[in-house]
Amino acid sequence: MKLAVVGATGMVGQVMLEVLSERSFPFTELLLVASERSVGKSISFEGQAYRVIGLDQAVNEKPDIALFSAGGGTSKEWAPKFADAGTIVIDNSSAWRMDPSKQLVVPEINADILSENDKIIANPNCSTIQMVMALAPLHKAYKINRLVVSTYQSVTGTGVKAVRQLNDEAQGVETEMVYPHRIHMNALPHCDVFEENGYTKEEMKLVRETQKILNDRSIAITATAVRIPTSGGHSESVNIEFEREFDIRDIRKILSDTDGVVVQDDPENNLYPMPIDAHGKDEVFVGRIRRDESRPNSLNLWIVSDNLRKGAATNAVQIAEYLLSRDWY
């Protein structure tokens, strides 16, 4: 098993290496790949020093699997080259997610749609992954008609420069502005670029990707994505309108029985999910489970997860593990 991590010097790439180590992913050879400016740098992994190589060399090495986290432009250009060389690419960017010929996968939900012919597999957006982890079993039980989503997203979703901006602002240090406004002590209703319909790209990812993963284009979805000055994970307020009536006790049981989901729902004892507690964990945490009393068959959930782990690195590694389990590499 020859494994490549493309974008190994980036924030998600570094977490991918942590997850690979924690889960004892069974590679025999590891290639750490990055842009030309990083080629030749040394990265320590499990006590061994690895020299960063470029994309051309990595393609020529013909890895069995390549975990991509190097941006959409790089993925568009290089993922097909790796695939043509026989590599299975698991891509963390938005480049291939809505391509009808590519599978968009959260392993706990829809790994069964994969086949050995899939050479480029898309990893969903971080905010989408954690939401559908909670929604998929509920959709199966009660059929979701409509979702109203508000997100409260960590600066880590933007990258290391955004984390630096937050930290510098907190210390009163002049800094490079990654966001159009100050983020410390602020909230920006602006995640990614604005599209022609007035929604941001991040908001439309929640719409389009959720419908694709749940394989149901009839679900009506509207979203507002907000960047907040946290670095532990993303939080989401999700209002769900079902086709069928439900018992709140059954909702809690379904979520509690779902692999990868942890219910934290004891408001009387101040127990509810928070990004500071989700940081460094792979689970999706769900709480504030309550009926929406203003609408029939409606429910409110609060969903929190570490966006760099289950929202990115861990999900990609889980896809690779599934491929190994089927002997498709």
Tokens found for residue 323: 């491929």
Domain count, the chain: 2
Same domain, 166 and 74: no
Which residue range is the domain that position 303 belongs to? 127-307
Would you say the C-alpha torsion 104, 107, 113, 117 has a positive or negative sign? positive
3-class secondary-structure state, position 321: helix
Alpha-carbon 171 to chain mean position: 30
Same domain, 28 and 158: no
Same domain, 107 and 149: no
Same domain, 199 and 161: yes
pLDDT by residue for the chain (329 residues), tens only, comes to 999 999 999 999 999 999 999 999 999 999 999 999 999 999 999 999 999 999 999 999 999 999 999 999 999 999 999 999 999 999 999 999 999 999 999 999 999 999 999 999 999 999 999 999 999 999 999 999 999 999 999 999 999 999 999 999 999 999 999 999 999 999 999 999 999 999 999 999 999 999 999 999 999 999 999 999 998 899 999 999 999 999 999 999 999 999 999 999 999 999 999 999 999 999 999 999 999 999 999 999 999 999 999 999 999 999 999 999 999 87
Same domain, 65 and 95: yes
Same domain, 88 and 204: no
CB 283 within 8 A of CB 240: no
pLDDT of residue 312: 97
pLDDT of residue 241: 98
pLDDT of residue 298: 98
- Which pTM does this prediction carry? 0.96
Same domain, 6 and 154: no
**CATH classification of the domain holding 79:** 3.40.50.720
Which strand ranges, in their side-by-side order, compose the sheet holding 103-104? Answer: 29-33, 2-6, 65-68, 88-91, 120-122, 103-104
User: Residues 184, 190, 191, 234: which is the catalytic one?
Assistant: 234
Half-sphere exposure of 65 (CA within 13 A, CB side): 26
pLDDT of residue 246: 98
Same domain, 52 and 180: no
Rounded to whole angstroms, the maximal C-alpha distance in the chain is: 60
3-state secondary structure 9-36: CCHHHHHHHHHHHHCCCCCCEEEEECCH
pLDDT of residue 189: 98
pLDDT of residue 328: 87
Q: Tell me the Ramachandran region of residue 258: left when phi exceeds 0, alpha when psi lies from -120 to 50, beta otherwise.
A: beta
Same domain, 145 and 260: yes
pLDDT of residue 284: 98
Same domain, 170 and 47: no
**CATH classification of the domain holding 256:** 3.30.360.10
Same domain, 321 and 276: no
Is 234 known to be catalytic?
Answer: yes
Same domain, 196 and 266: yes
User: Residues 126, 139, 191, 279: which is the catalytic one?
Assistant: 126
